[in-house]
Structure 1
Amino acid sequence: MSIIRRGSVGSVIAFAVLAGTATAPAYAQPASAVSADDPEPVGTAPPMEPEESDLVDATDPEPEPEETISPGKAGNTTNGEQCGPTQAVYTPKTKGAKYHKGVGPTNANYNATSRTARWTFTSEVTGEVGVSVTAGLTPGVDVLIAKIEGKYDVNLSAKLTAKMGNQISVDTPPKTTTNARYGVYRLKNTGTSYKIYSNCKTLSVKTNTSYTPMKVGWALWEG
């Protein structure tokens, strides 16, 4: 006969069913950050957090003012070329891993028994996660997303909402704690942004790191 226990930790409701054997589930890989093309395994450490200290929420830039650089001014032309109105350009360079941004607290349940227990975690917080970038991004969010999607054949969003009521079930080996955090997975990308003026002169070239929402989901780890 199965034994059912009910309890709560933080803002999560968990149900545990003790199995008849103490066999722990086989997990694909214990990495704390995974490739953007792989499914999310149960790790042995919390998901990695972005290392950048100057991350800001990405917003569309203010409209460009009237250009004051004369296309024909000596020293500012490039073989007499005309490149049209000033435009912001973004070029993705390096595709990174997926990073998880939590919505609400991290929840945990400890299996104090000698058998494998199966927990069901339920999110009780709704929150929105958008694009974060290192300071100095020139173009807007739409340009950033379009360029990254086109280069890497991925689907990204400017914002995603992690909603209350989502559930996930996971097996916890004996004498082990399972941690669960609901939120949004974001793709890391490094690229360059700059402006091209009507005289084809390029200015304000900067390297930026961005974190762009890919999908809503849970991050799970044991420890």
Structure 2
Amino acid sequence: MNKLSFWLLPIIFLGGCALVQQPLPQLTLKDHQANVDYPVGQKFQVVLPSNGTTGFKWELEDMTAGVLEKLSDEYQVTDKYTENIVGAGGEEVWTFQVIKVERSHIVMKYRKPWDKTEVANEFLVTINGNPGDDGLVTYLGKIEGNAVDAQFDDCFITEAGDKFGITPVTQDQIGDPGVKAKIAEFTNQDTLVEIRGKMTEPTIDCNGKQLIVHEIQAK
């Protein structure tokens, strides 16, 4: 082994380690009717046993909109079950994300989509959204501009209908120019945006609240 290869090996090894992603927290039937605490921004999975050959599937009966977001759902046969043949069991994996500091819930029912009356199983869990480690909270909504001479900042309207002022985080005594440009880009464009920031109150802004924006992106 030459010297170059000797020094490259640790780098390659460390680089490979950096690619390993931590698995998401999972809730199963054992967590039925449980209360779970997750920080805002946390993604988690609901993993429930299912059998795609029976016609039954899990359906999302109810979810607190604007507090939780469903990212995906898929049916899969894993090594927990037999090979993927007719009659083999599997599981449904539903991925969610906490987007607001608020108490919320998920209600799911296992039934045939064409027969809502026959419910073979049910899953209910309560999610308590908490601020993340950085103290920032995630919001989804749209930006509505005020008149140039208005005393209020532009307004942010969440999917739940809450409304408050919006302003970029201050850096070196001025508003962050990157965040400021993004706010201007999305104002009055009917674009759904995701914002991470901190709420301050009381202020003169909409409903006496002002959201200090640290990060903003189109959703």
After TM superposition, the score normalised by the length of structure 1 is: 0.23
After TM superposition, the score normalised by the length of structure 2 is: 0.23
Larger RCO, structures 1/2 (Cα 8 Å, 6+ apart): 1
Q: Which has the higher helix share?
A: 2
